[in-house]
Amino acid sequence: MTLSLEERWTLIDKISRETVTFGKYEHTLKDAIGELTVKPLTGIPVAIAIMYGFWSAFGSFAGTLMTDGFFVKLFDGYWLPWLQGAFPGQGSWLYSIMVDAGGLGGSEFVLSDTCFEAFGVLTSGIFVAIGVVLPAISIFYLMLALLEDVGYMPRLAVLLDTVLHRVGLHGYAIVPTILSLGCNVPGVAATRILETKKQRFIMMTLLAIFIPCGAQIGIMDKVVPALMGWILLYLIIGYFIFGYILNKVVPGKAPEFLIDVPPYRKPLMRNITKKIWGRITGFFKVALPFVMLGCAIVNVLYLLGVIQWLGDVLAPIFVGWFGVPKETAGPLVAAFLRKDLAVAQLSVINMTDYQRITAVVLVTIYFPCVATFAMMLKEGWKELIAAIGVLIIVVFTYGGLIHLIGIILGVAE
């Protein structure tokens, strides 16, 4: 006997009533909090509060407590003076490279007062990595691990989905973006969670250009704390402007996404410890060698007169188009090895506040550091070449635009 459609549904309903038992649902406080953090009206203020707390903890722990309160006193008060006296050949080329450049690029050798100014492999190189970067990425990865383990990250993805669709991405693009705030290398690797080639290319390109890593943010918080807001504002604006343009010109689709939003959970210390340890050790295997190598290469280029020559050759572009001193050529060379190292070098160049804002933004959007470059190459050489093409256009367009804004506002030279 053939049953009609209505009879089939009646039979299904009868069977389900006899075999399925429904428990009583109780709407808990945890459920209510979970709903509030997803709905835009309440979720956006919560997200802003969490990010503010994230940033406050980052600045207070990394900058004030650890770097200024401990490592600066240790390195500048004990390590630097001891090394300046113990290392042989003061004033020689080896001494300048390894310990103290002594007024790098100047006519006479003068011992530096701080590790930032010394710019030696064993002084600035170790201080930047251990004294500034280590506290910065430690607190960053601790906060990130807590948000992941509690279950907030999927909710943040849902909350930002509509905004990120404007640049051809979906909510889960916030994951590689936040990872890149720790280090661009795992951020680029995390673009694989996006479904289409278009989305992966847009995300990888935006990360390489507009997202500063935790090490660079830590240095910025140390040397230009009063200008951080303006620098990050320019980077955020550029992220969305050029992301919107890329979404229009890059062929392909940006599909919707489905995501399972888990309930909030109590974080497990074992999980958090494993995440922090793995990320910090992986970071320093890459970071420390490149910071020290960057110090050595830049010092050698200074001693050979290459930086001076580059500054003279590129002066019309740096001074005329970007509105920054020609000495910025040195940090841009260092930026290919480590952007945090480049920002540290910018701090000893004499310039106005707006020039410093422009220079730090240029270092950020300039060519990705070599570790990020290598990771992008693994994702495909065609994508890398295309990303570099976009990067060159963005550097000249956005750098010139920032200078023009400064001229209009009367704060640029």
Q: Where are the domains of the chain?
A: 36-313
Q: What is the DSSP string of 58-96?
A: IIIIIIIIIIIIIIHHHIIIIIHHHHHHHSSSTTSHHHH
Task: Say which DSSP state 127 is in.
Answer: I
Hey, CA dihedral for 387, 389, 391, 393, is it positive or negative?
Answer: negative
Side-chain half-sphere CA neighbours of 197 within 13 A? 10
- The pLDDT assigned to 176 comes to 86
- The pLDDT assigned to 375 comes to 75
- At 300, give phi and psi (nearest 5°): -65, -40
- The pLDDT assigned to 103 comes to 55
Q: How do the pLDDT tens digits run along the chain, 413 residues long?
A: 677 777 778 888 888 878 877 766 666 777 777 778 888 888 888 888 888 888 787 777 777 788 888 888 999 999 999 998 889 888 788 888 898 876 554 556 678 888 877 878 898 888 878 887 788 788 888 888 888 888 888 888 888 887 888 888 888 888 888 888 877 877 887 888 788 888 888 998 998 889 888 778 888 887 888 898 899 999 999 999 999 999 888 888 776 666 777 788 888 888 889 888 887 887 777 667 877 887 788 788 878 888 778 778 888 888 889 988 888 877 877 777 678 778 887 887 888 999 999 999 998 888 777 667 777 877 778 888 888 889 889 999 999 999 999 999 888 76
- The pLDDT assigned to 165 comes to 82
Tokens of 316: 């019309």
Strand-pairing partners, residue 100, are 119
- The CA distance from 86 to 182, in Å, is 36
User: What is the three-class DSSP state of 368?
Assistant: coil
Outline where DSSP puts E strands in 89-172: none
- The CA distance from 176 to 166, in Å, is 17
- The CA distance from 189 to 176, in Å, is 8
Amino acid identity of residue 335, one-letter, is A
Of 173, 175, 149, residue with least CA distance to 161: 173
- The pLDDT assigned to 107 comes to 53
- The CA distance from 369 to 395, in Å, is 15
pTM recorded for the entire structure: 0.76
What does the radius of gyration of the chain's CA atoms come to, in whole angstroms? 25
Tokens of 390: 């976009």
